[in-house]
Amino acid sequence: MIRFFLFCLSAGLLAAAPVRVLFIGNSYTYYHSMPRMAEELAQAAGQEVETRAFTRGGATLMELEMHPELRALWNEKWDYVVLQESSTLGLSAWNGDLTVNDPAYFLQGARLLAQRAKASNAKVILFATWARKKHPEFQAFLDYSYTAAAREISAVIAPVGQAWETIREQQPNLELFDADGTHPSPNGSYLAACVIMRTIFSRPCLGLPGTLRGNPLNVRGQRDEGREVELINLKPEVAGHLQRAADEALPEPGLYPPSPNLTANHSRRAKLDAKLEDFAGRWKGRVFFYATPASFELELTKADGDACTGVYRLTAENSSWSSSRRLANCRLTDQGLVFTVSEPTGGATEQHTLTVTGKEQLSGVATVDYRTAMHRLGGTYTARPDGARTSSQR
C-alpha cells in the first residue's frame, strides 16, 4: 500500500511538472509582455506552463545567438524554444526604400540557435511575424522565408503573420499595429500569443479569456515578479475575432516562392558589342542608397585586356561626409563592367555592375554588404559624362 501511494504521488508530481518555454527575439516579442499572455492563455486552457524570455530591441537572431547571457540559459532545461527574427529579416533597403532581406542571413542565426535548442532536447518553434503596415506585400516573402527555414532546421511554424493577414482583410477596423506601423498593438500581441499557444499545445484559442493578468516583462524579457498588471482587456467580440483568426491560420503558409517583385534580379546584361573603351572616361550622377543622398563621380580607365582601373568619389549632399576610393577587381564580364569598392573603415564592401548606352548614359546597380550580419543596402543609378544632370532610379 505504501509503495502504491508513493507511486501515485510520484506520478502526480510528474504530471504537474510545467512545460518550459523559452522565447528568443526582439521588440515584436516583448511588446505588451506577449510571452506572459501566451502563458496565461495556456493556463486557462488547462496546460501548466512556465515561460522565460530573452529579448533585445532591434536584435537579429544572429546577434542574440552570440550574447553571453543567452548562452547561460542553455544550461537550463527547455521543452520548447520560440525564435523570432527581426521584422524584415535584418536591415535591407533598395534606393533608400525598405525591403525584405535575403533569408540566408536569417537562416544562419536560426540554424545556430536550433542546434543549441536541440542539444537540450527542446523543440523549435519559429514565430513567423507579420508584414509592416505600409508593406503588406512583404508577407509572402516572410512566409516563404520562415517556411524554408523551418524545413531546413526541422522546426514548427507559428503562423502569426498569416493570422494578422486574416484580420487585416476581414476586420480592417480592428487595429493590430502600434502607432509606428510596425510594432504590435495590445490586440496584435494577444493574437500572436494565441497563435503561439495553439501551435505549442494544440489547444484552440477560441473561448479562452480576453482579459489576462500577470507579471509584466521589460525590454530584456525579464519578469517583474513584484508587480501584477492587467496585460489586456478585450471586448468579447474582439477577442472572438482574434481567437478565430489564430485557430484558422495555416501551419505552413509559405509553400511557394514569393512574388518576383521582392526577389527581382536588379542586374542588367551588357550589350553584346560593349567594349571596355565604351566605359572609359569620367561620369557624374547621384545615389540614394547610402544613409544620406550623395553625388558621385566615377573615373574609369582601360588597362590591359578586359581589366580597368579607376576612382569612385562620393560627396553627401548635406556635406556631412565625403570619400574617394580606388576600384578593385575592375573588369569587363558578360554581365557588364563590374568592380568593388570598400568603405574607408573596412565596414562594408560594395559590388557595382555597369552597362552603358552609347556615350550618353551609364547605368549601374550596386549592393552594399556590411560586416555586421544581415545589414544590406543597394540601389540603381545613372550617370552622364561631363556632369550632365541625372538621378538615381527610385
Secondary structure string (H, E, C) spanning 374-385: CEEEEEEEEEEE
Boundary-marking domain end, from 248, 264, 299: 248
Domain match, 199 and 339 both: no
Domain match, 135 and 213 both: yes
d(CA 89, CA 104): 9
pLDDT of residue 388: 53
What does the pLDDT look like over 234-259, one tens digit per residue? 999 999 999 999 999 977 665 566 65
Handedness of CA 153, 155, 158, 162 (dihedral sign): positive
Domain match, 232 and 336 both: no
Domain match, 155 and 54 both: yes
Residue with cell 501551419: 251
Which one-letter amino acid corresponds to residue 248?
Answer: E
- Mapped onto helix, strand or coil, the DSSP state of residue 224 is coil
The mean predicted confidence, pLDDT, of the chain is 88
Is 12:43 a contact under the CB 8 Å cutoff? Answer: no
CATH number, domain at 148? Answer: 3.40.50.1110
Domain containing 375 equals 276-385
pLDDT of residue 311: 96
Kind of pairing, strands 375-385 and 229-233? unpaired
Domain match, 124 and 160 both: yes
Domain match, 287 and 212 both: no
Residue with cell 496584435: 188
178 burial via Cβ count (<10 Å: 0-12, 13-18, 19+): middle
d(CA 82, CA 80): 7
d(CA 296, CA 325): 11
Q: What's the half-sphere exposure (Cβ side, CA atoms, 13 Å) at 154?
A: 6
Look up residue 353 and give its three cell numbers: 555592375
Look up residue 319 and give its three cell numbers: 556635406
Q: Considering the domain boundaries, does residue 270 fall inside one?
A: no
CATH number, domain at 321? Answer: 2.40.128.30
Q: Considering the domain boundaries, does residue 12 fall inside one?
A: no
Show pLDDT as tens, one digit a residue, over the chain (394 residues).
555 544 454 544 445 689 999 999 999 999 999 999 999 999 999 999 999 999 999 999 999 999 999 999 999 999 999 999 999 998 888 888 888 888 888 999 999 999 999 998 999 999 999 999 999 999 999 999 999 999 999 999 999 999 999 999 999 999 999 999 999 999 999 999 999 999 999 999 999 999 999 999 999 999 999 999 999 999 999 999 999 999 999 776 655 666 554 444 444 444 446 788 889 999 999 998 888 889 999 999 998 888 999 999 999 988 888 999 999 999 998 888 999 998 766 678 899 999 887 678 899 999 888 766 567 788 999 999 865 545 555 5
3 burial via Cβ count (<10 Å: 0-12, 13-18, 19+): exposed
Non-local CB neighbours of 117 within 8 Å, separated by 6+ positions: 78, 81, 123, 124
Is 189:32 a contact under the CB 8 Å cutoff? Answer: yes
Q: How many structural domains does the chain have?
A: 2
pLDDT of residue 263: 46
